[in-house]
Amino acid sequence: MTILKIGEYEIGMGETRKIDLPVAKLYTDADVHLPVYIIRGKRRGPTIFVSAAVHGDELNGIEIIRRLINLKGFKVSAGTLIAVPMVNVYGVVNQSRYMPDRRDLNRSFPGSAKGSLAARVANIFLTEIVSHCDYGIDLHTGAIHRSNLPQIRADLSDEMTLELAKVFDVPVILNSDVLDGSLREAAVKNKTKVLLYEAGEALRFDEFSIRAGIKGIVNVLRHLKMMPKRGARKRKSTQFIANHSGWVRASASGIATHLYELGDQVVKGDVLAEIGSPYGDVLGKVLAHKSGVIIGKQNIPLVQEGEAMYHIAFFSEDDEQIAEHIGNVEEALVVNTETSEELL
C-alpha cells in the first residue's frame, strides 16, 4: 500500500509518524488516545504490529518498544512497523490489568463500536491497527506477583508462525491454543500471524526480558527483510519446543520457602517449596509432578492451598541441556551486552 490510513491520518512510504488515535473520554471530559508510532520503509514489504500493555500492568513491553524505536541505527527499510506501546491506556494510568469497567481487554476482541468500553477499545485496535497487518508480536508479562521466563507462545501447527517463533530466538517456545476473545484469536481470523511474547512480572522491569524482547523483534524484522542484514555472521540459535505445560499448586496455606527459580530443571518428585506456619512448622511440601523446566513462578511468599505456584514446561529434549542454555542466553544478553544498541 502506498498510503497507510489509520484513523484520520495518512502515512506515506518512507515516512515516520507518531499519532494519537482517539479512543474515548474520561469522566473529566479529557480525551484518551491510543499512542501509535509508525515507521514505513521506502520499499514495499510486509506490515507488522508490535503491541504492549493490552493488560495495563504489564510494563516490560512498553519499555521494549520505547527502547526499540530509539535505538541508534534502528531502521525499517521495507514494509511497515506499527508500534503501540500502550493498548490499554486506562490500565497503565491506574496500574491495573483491567479496563475501568473491570473487563479483561484480552478477552474482549473483536469488540464492538457500540459495546462496552473494553469492546470499543478492542474494536478500534482491531480495525485501525491489526486489519492492516500481515504479522504481529504481542508483548506480555506474568500477572502481579508472578514471573514468566522469556518465552514465545504461538500456534505451532502453522508453518510460518512456527518459523517466526524460532527466528525470535528465545530459548523456550510453547505451543499454545488461542483463547476465546483474545487479540490473538481476532488477529488469526484477520489472517494475521501473531507471536505472543511472555516475559517478566507485572508492574516491574526485568532487564533479561526487555533485552530478549528487543533482540527477538529485530530478528523477526530482519527475517521478513524489513531491516538491513547484519554485518557480522549470525550465530546458530537454539530453541526448545514444549507442546505441553502445567501448574503445580500449593499443598497447604502458609508461608512458602521457594527452593527453585525460573529456568531451573526439575525432576518428578523434587521438592519445589516448603510451606510453613507463622511458628515455623512445616505444613506441606510442593512436589514436581513431572520432569521439566520452570517457565513461570509465583514470587509472593504467602500462599493459599490450591494456589498456582510453579508453571512447568514439558519437553522431549534433555531438560538439563535446556536449563543450561537458558542460563547462557541470559548471561549473553545481560552480562555480556553493555548497551541496547549491541542488540542490533
- Which residue range is the domain that position 146 belongs to? 3-223
pLDDT of 231 reads 63
**Residue ranges of the chain whose pLDDT lies below 50:** none
> Based on the domain organization, do 80 and 212 belong to the same domain?
yes
Domain identity same for 95 and 175: yes
Same domain, 284 and 160: no
Is residue 131 in some structural domain? yes
Instruction: Using the 3D structure, point to which of 223, 255, 281 is the last residue of a domain.
Output: 223
- The enclosing domain of 26 has a CATH number of 3.40.630.10
Residue 343 domain-assigned?
A: no
Q: Are residues 64 and 122 in the same domain?
A: yes
Distance CA 164, CA 287 (A): 35
Alpha-carbon span 328 to 131, nearest angstrom = 38
Q: Does residue 340 belong to any structural domain of this protein?
A: no
Q: Is 256 exposed, middle or buried (0-12, 13-18, 19+ CB in 10 A)?
A: buried
* pLDDT value, residue 317: 73
Name residue 282's beta-bridge partners.
276
229 falls within a domain: no
Beta strands in the chain (DSSP E): 3-6, 9-12, 16-25, 31-40, 43-52, 78-84, 135-140, 146-154, 172-175, 193-201, 240-242, 244-249, 254-258, 265-266, 271-276, 282-287, 292-298, 302-303, 308-314
pTM above 0.85, yes or no: yes
Considering the domain architecture, whether residues 180 and 322 belong to the same structural domain is answered as no
Give the pLDDT score at 233. Answer: 52
Q: Is residue 70 domain-shared with residue 212, that is, in the same domain?
A: yes
What is the structure's pLDDT at 234? 56
Q: Are residues 56 and 117 in the same domain?
A: yes
- Give per-residue pLDDT as tens, 96-138: 999 998 999 999 999 999 999 999 999 999 999 999 999 999 9
Is residue 213, in this structure, part of any structural domain at all? yes
Tell whether 176 and 293 lie within a shared domain.
Answer: no
What local confidence, expressed as pLDDT, does residue 138 receive?
98
Whether residue 230 is contained in a domain is answered as no
User: 233-286 pLDDT, tens per residue?
Assistant: 555 567 899 989 999 999 999 999 999 999 999 999 999 999 999 999 999 999
The CATH number covering residue 282 comes to: 2.40.50.100
Domains held by the chain: number: 2
| Residue 107 within any structural domain of the chain | yes
| 100 and 23 belong to one structural domain | yes
Q: Are residues 29 and 100 in the same domain?
A: yes
Same domain, 210 and 324: no
